[in-house]
Structure 1
Amino acid sequence: MNTGRILLIEDDPGIRKFLRVALEAQGFTLDEEASGKSGIAKAATSQPDLVVLDLGLPDMDGKAVIARIREWSKVPILILSVRQSEDEKVAALDAGANDYVVKPFGIAEMLARVRALLRSAPGGATPETEILRRDLRIDLARHEVALAGEPVKLTRKEFDLLALLARNPGRIVTHRQLLADIWGPAHEHDLQYLRVFIGRLRAKLGDDPAAPRFILNEPGVGYRFLD
């Protein structure tokens, strides 16, 4: 008998019922969500061993759901979708999905892919949903930051920049990597752009560049989040 917790993010009640019967009969525990936003929140709180995700959700595209989950978790993600073009498959896999099954699908193949993904992540994947560094708390799932218990309001880009640095404590993250990951490859050389955002981030965190507590400048190379 199989074990493991599976999160199913699917808006079609018929498919949810079909998969619930099939997966629970195999011994899996199943959580169900019908929208992208609720699915992301459930992924952060229930710590599933596998996410099964439909791309055509009512509130957001499934690829955006993948991107959000990948901000803090390496949990295996299996796509179920009617979209069968090669471009859609490549885009989903590039976004961070692990496998792709086209609807309609055979349940035997579906279960085999589920088992294969679970084997590739022994013991499941525990997401890092919160980063604590001294008196700084970064909630990756809710996109919230607090300093000494007080909320810090950041823009989406400022949050993404801080989260990327904080997930690599003590390591130099290069200018090019920061620009490419946060703004895209077309901005890899926009160093002044990065400096402006680092300056804003430091100001909001009360981080003196002359005596930094959080973000250290490595001249000519990048930035390091102090561990």
Structure 2
Amino acid sequence: MNYRIISFDIFQTLVDVNERIPEIWRGILKDSYTDEKARQGAKAILSTLPNVYEKAVQSEQFKTMTEVYQECAQKAMEKLNFKTTAQDVAYNLMCQHAKAPFFHDVLDCMKKLRPKYQIILSSDSNHLMVDDLICKITYDKAFISDDLKSYKGNKSGKFFHTVLGQLDTEPKEIIHIGDSSADVLGAHRAGITSCWINRDNRKWNNPIKPDFIIQNFNDLVDIL
């Protein structure tokens, strides 16, 4: 297939947010920080976020990413005895996303792809999370859920249909790479080729399968 446009998810695809977990919780807990509390906090957020996010994705009324993270933080803090507010937790989480490091294979790969393809970014996020991050790479256009008022996993396919409309292109001309089921299913609903990046050997648990599966960006270069 001769693709013209490559769409990249950002978090856990281009950058590793998990690397910022200690800094996230240092900013939240301050003098009461311990590594164990950071582990507990991260576990609470990760166990709560999927359900909160899924409710937001399927809601008829769009919820911003700030609202999603505040609700997630509220539920997580109810499980913990941390002296902080859901607002502080959500704000620190979003700020630290923007400071996440790129995976080691990303920048070199994108440098190789840039002369041949139009590069776009497709992210369920807001500008607090991405603006200080994406200025470090070269891309053509960024599609952010808070701007589009839709998430990638929405069953109507609004996010990626909007991408197609704004780029004035056909689905067959795009391949989208991301780490989540929302990336794969959202692209599929819009007729876009999907590529699941599975860096940590997870199992795929959905009857709709990605068109391609890669473990790193070197594998992506081989596919293209």
TM-score by length of 1: 0.30
Which structure would you say has the larger Rg? 1
Between structures 1 and 2, the one with greater strand share: 1
Higher helix share goes to which structure?
2
Higher RCO (CA 8 Å, separation ≥ 6 residues): 2
